[in-house]
């Protein structure tokens, strides 16, 4: 059911997808995400959070320095670099073995992060924002998570087809820049420019995206598609996050971007045993 993919990473062993579901732990390095006790405390707090996520089963750490939530203020390049680079440097100095992804749509931030030791670019603009992003990825041979976020979408066009067409364009942009398609991970972008009904339709029909032939990332953690349904706050959305994560896995997802690593990892192991048998039966 889950197609297997091997993603080459710069300077690290390749990432095996489809053997088991992978958990990507979210590390927000924004001023509101840690009580502001200056640079040293910010880095120390981020390191402690990463150590905890790794102990809880995180396979990838996703570092972001700019909130992309609706209504969040944009952040300049230098400010974003000032937030994320000290944390990446500290993680590399610690000898972290899990790959680091950099959640940015800014080519300069992606370039610096990869040079410092991050190995995956997580672009919420799906290589369709800044034209240099695909070039930066190709230069380093860095895999890219291409996410669907299309605020200019034709509301009359069939929704799932529009998401797939957009992602197909992202694949074409990568290949034109010299980044082979086997370095791409597709993400339908839950919560980005989508209605509540569209978000749930996307989850229900996620398996249709397998037709593009690339691994799929699912990011629903604590999102408003859960909160609007349950009328609850982000910290109350764990059960909803687990439900969407397990459903996303059943529908063919390979990587799950979450805040609550232990819960997601446990739930995915149970889901995997259900679909494919417990580990001792899988050989
Ligand atoms: C996503 C992301 C997502 C990918 C954010 C939030 C908003 N990157 N960055 N996919 N969401 N690839 O976590 O609520 O869904 S930031």
Catalogue all structural domains in the chain, each as residue range(s) with its CATH number: 30-69+76-276 (3.20.20.20)
CA dihedral 112, 97, 214, 247 (to 10 degrees): -120
> Which residue's C-alpha comes closest to atom 3 of ligand 1?
219
Q: Of 102, 98, 107, which is closest to residue 138 (Cα–Cα)?
A: 107
Token duo for residue 38? 């200056």
Minimum-distance ligand 1 atom for the alpha carbon of 220: 15
The 10 Å Cβ neighbour count of residue 233 is 9
Q: Which residues of 165-181 are buried (b: 16+ CB within 10 A; e: fewer)?
A: ebbeebbebbeebebee
> Which residue's C-alpha comes closest to atom 10 of ligand 1?
219
CA dihedral 88, 188, 54, 83 (to 10 degrees): 20
Ligand 1 centroid to Cα of residue 190, in Å, is: 8
pTM exceeds 0.85? yes
Q: Of 5, 46, 42, 7, which is closest to residue 25 (Cα–Cα)?
A: 46
Give the CA distances from residue 124 to residues 87, 225, 269, in Å, rounded to whole numbers and listed in that order. Answer: 21, 18, 28
* CA distance linking residue 23 with residue 118, whole number of Å: 17
Give the CA distances from residue 252 to residues 79, 187, 247, 277, in Å, rounded to whole numbers and listed in that order. Answer: 37, 12, 9, 16
Cα angle for residues 144, 147, 149 (degrees, 5° grid)? 145
Which H or E run contains 175?
helix 159-176
- List, in sequence order, every residue forming a beta bridge with 5; answer none if it has no partner: 17
* CA distance linking residue 283 with residue 281, whole number of Å: 6
Provide block-wise average pLDDT over 10 residues at a time, the chain (283 residues).
94 96 96 62 94 98 88 90 97 97 98 98 98 98 98 94 98 98 98 97 98 98 98 98 98 98 98 95 73
* CA distance linking residue 169 with residue 175, whole number of Å: 10
pLDDT at position 32: 60
pLDDT at position 34: 47
Contact 64, 30 (CB under 8 A): yes
* CA distance linking residue 133 with residue 106, whole number of Å: 7
Contact 214, 185 (CB under 8 A): yes
Ligand 1 centroid to Cα of residue 219, in Å, is: 6
Minimum-distance ligand 1 atom for the alpha carbon of 189: 15
> Which residue's C-alpha comes closest to atom 11 of ligand 1?
219
Token duo for residue 176? 């034109």
Q: Of 190, 201, 146, which is closest to residue 168 (Cα–Cα)?
A: 146
Question: Tokens 């529908």, residue?
Answer: 251
* CA distance linking residue 283 with residue 97, whole number of Å: 25
What is residue 73's three-state secondary structure? coil
Ligand 1 centroid to Cα of residue 186, in Å, is: 12
């Amino acid at each position: 059911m889950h197609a297997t993919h091997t993603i080459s990473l710069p300077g690290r062993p390749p990432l095996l997808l489809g053997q088991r579901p992978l958990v990507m732990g979210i590390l927000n390095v924004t001023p509101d995400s840690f009580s502001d006790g200056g640079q040293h405390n910010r880095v120390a707090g981020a390191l402690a959070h990463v150590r905890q996520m790794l102990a809880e089963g995180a396979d990838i750490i996703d570092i972001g320095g700019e909130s992309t939530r609706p209504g969040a203020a944009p952040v300049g390049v230098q400010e974003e670099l000032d937030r994320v680079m000290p944390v990446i440097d500290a993680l590399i100095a610690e000898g972290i073995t899990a790959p680091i992804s950099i959640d940015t749509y800014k080519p300069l931030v992606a370039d610096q992060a990869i040079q410092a030791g991050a190995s995956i670019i997580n672009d919420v603009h799906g290589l369709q924002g800044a034209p240099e992003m695909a070039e930066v990825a190709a230069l380093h041979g860095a895999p890219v998570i291409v996410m669907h976020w299309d605020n200019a979408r034709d509301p009359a066009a069939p929704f799932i087809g529009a998401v797939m067409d957009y992602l197909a364009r992202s694949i074409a942009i990568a290949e034109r820049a010299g980044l082979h398609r086997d370095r791409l991970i597709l993400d339908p972008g839950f919560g980005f420019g989508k209605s509540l009904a569209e978000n749930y339709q996307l989850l229900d029909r996620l398996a249709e995206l397998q037709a593009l032939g690339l691994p799929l990332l699912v990011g629903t953690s604590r999102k408003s598609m859960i909160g609007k349904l349950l009328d609850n706050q982000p910290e109350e959305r764990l059960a909803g996050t687990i439900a969407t994560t397990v459903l996303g896995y059943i529908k063919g997802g390979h990587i799950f971007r979450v805040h609550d690593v232990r819960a997601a990892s446990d739930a995915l192991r149970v889901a995997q045993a259900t679909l494919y048998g417990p580990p001792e039966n899988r050989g």
